[in-house]
Amino acid sequence: MGFQTIKFYQTGTYTVGNRLLLPDQRSVQAGESRSNSINSGHRACQGCGEALGARYAIDAAMAESDNRLIAVNATGCLEVFSTPYPESSWQVPWIHSVFGNAPAVATGIAAAMKVKGKKDVRVVAQGGDGGTTDIGFGCLSGMFERNDDVLYICYDNEAYMNTGVQRSSATPPAARTATTMPVGPEPGNPFGQGKNLPEIAMAHGIPYVATATVADLRDLEYKVKKAMKMHGARYIHLFVPCPLGWGTASSDTIRIARLAKESGLFPVFEAEHGEITGVLKIRRKVGVEEYLMPQKRFAHLFGSHSHPEMVIRIQEIADRNIRKYGLLDEEAA
């Protein structure tokens, strides 16, 4: 697919920067002039994937829109840790909606800009998985259906983190949360369909849908920039590990995101008008255990009261993703 092809530089082909690349081939994050949309001093936990993902995404959107950007933020960790009264970490025009209506507020701002003739001002809306897949779902679907000129970014940390790790419809099977305790014959979150929001977004036929993780910065920047070049409703679903809620080491945030992708549990792809146009292939395939084991929210699957049958079911999910999205190159298999 059309991911930025990088000239073959052995040292650091996958790194954030690369001194051997021409300046215009370098990532936004490598530049000293990146906008640092969300600045130091925010109160996110150590190693927060959401804080990192938000800076990656909004900086790229800023770069693509010549810094003419307004960001709308649903209630959730990102909003709370960045703006404790009277401080703000945001270095972009930023507005807090409420928990469930960020897409609608963004729609309104986009409409206002249109009325005022400010064609160059672009709008992004952002929220957590709870705000997106649950309470904001209706507003979001409306925004899609009207094809409003908004890029919506969902930071998926797979639960309601801000209020103390309650289950959302994006919480994966078997995960322990405050509301899905590891008790009973099938501990943790029940196996079920959940809500696959990227696919639901695709079903709306909107111009652009993509998934990404904080482990593949160049892929993420490519997708945000591509989305910003387009108009109409666009949706990016960004996988952001949460050290506190998942029970992982703060230094493991990126590694965990990488394992989610490499195991096939989190497929990374992009789609235009409802059709998949590209997938990011698995580079070094791993079994799901490698992803699950470092996370305390899955601890009950292993150890003395282990549940190998549940691990097998999770592996089946990964295998299905690999088949369905074609995540493996023949050679890598």
Ligand X SMILES: Cc1ncc(C[n+]2csc(CCOP(=O)(O)OP(=O)(O)O)c2C)c(N)n1
Residue 183, CA distances (Å) to 6, 71, 161, 314 in order: 48, 41, 21, 18
Question: 233: Cβ–Cβ under 8 A, 6 or more apart, which residues?
Answer: 143, 144, 146, 147, 148, 149, 150, 152, 204, 206, 207
Q: Which is nearer to ligand X, 27 or 180 (CB)?
A: 180
Question: What's the rounded Cα separation, in Å, for the pair 79 and 31?
Answer: 25
Residue of 95, 111, 244, 254 interacting with other proteins (CB under 8 A)? 254
Interaction between residue 258 and other proteins (CB under 8 A)? yes
Residue 247, CA distances (Å) to 39, 79, 154 in order: 25, 22, 21
In DSSP terms, which residues pair with 237 in a beta bridge?
Answer: 154, 211
Report, in Å, the least distance between residue 51 CB and Mg ion: 13
Question: What's the rounded Cα separation, in Å, for the pair 301 and 328?
Answer: 26
Q: Which two tokens stand for residue 4?
A: 């930025």
Q: Which is nearer to other proteins, 89 or 177 (CB)?
A: 89
Residue of 2, 22, 24, 85 interacting with other proteins (CB under 8 A)? 85
Given the rule CB under 6 A, which of 25-33, 85-93, 154-162, 180-188 is the region that contacts ligand X? 154-162
Question: What's the rounded Cα separation, in Å, for the pair 265 and 291?
Answer: 9
Residue of 107, 148, 245, 249 interacting with other proteins (CB under 8 A)? 249
Residues 110, 162 contacting (CB under 8 angstroms): no
Given the rule CB under 6 A, which of 7-15, 113-121, 122-130, 264-272 is the region that contacts ligand X? 122-130
Q: Which is nearer to other proteins, 237 or 258 (CB)?
A: 258
| Secondary element (H or E) of residue 265 | none
Interaction between residue 4 and other proteins (CB under 8 A)? no
Interaction between residue 99 and ligand X (CB under 6 A)? yes
- Closest Cα partner for 168 from 158, 178, 182? 158
Interaction between residue 27 and other proteins (CB under 8 A)? yes
Residue of 114, 118, 120, 251 interacting with other proteins (CB under 8 A)? 251
Question: What's the rounded Cα separation, in Å, for the pair 70 and 49?
Answer: 22
Selection from other proteins, ligand X, Mg ion, none that 99 binds (CB < 5 to 8 A by kind) is ligand X
Report, in Å, the least distance between residue 218 CB and other proteins: 10
Report, in Å, the least distance between residue 98 CB and ligand X: 6
Amino acid letter at 65? S
Given the rule CB under 8 A, which of 27-35, 143-151, 160-168, 320-328 is the region that contacts other proteins? 27-35
In DSSP terms, which residues pair with 55 in a beta bridge?
Answer: none
Binding mask 146-165 for other proteins (x = CB under 8 A): --------------------
Question: 150: Cβ–Cβ under 8 A, 6 or more apart, which residues?
Answer: 103, 106, 107, 110, 123, 124, 125, 143, 233, 234
Interaction between residue 255 and other proteins (CB under 8 A)? yes
Distance of CA 272 to the CA centre of its chain: 18
Closest-approach residue to Mg ion (CB): 128
Report, in Å, the least distance between residue 11 CB and ligand X: 35
Under the rule (CB under 6 A), what is the footprint of ligand X?
Answer: 50, 75-78, 99-100, 127-131, 155, 157, 160-163, 168
Under the rule (CB under 8 A), what is the footprint of other proteins?
Answer: 8-20, 27, 29-30, 32, 36, 39-44, 46-49, 51-52, 55, 82, 85-89, 217, 243, 249-255, 258, 284
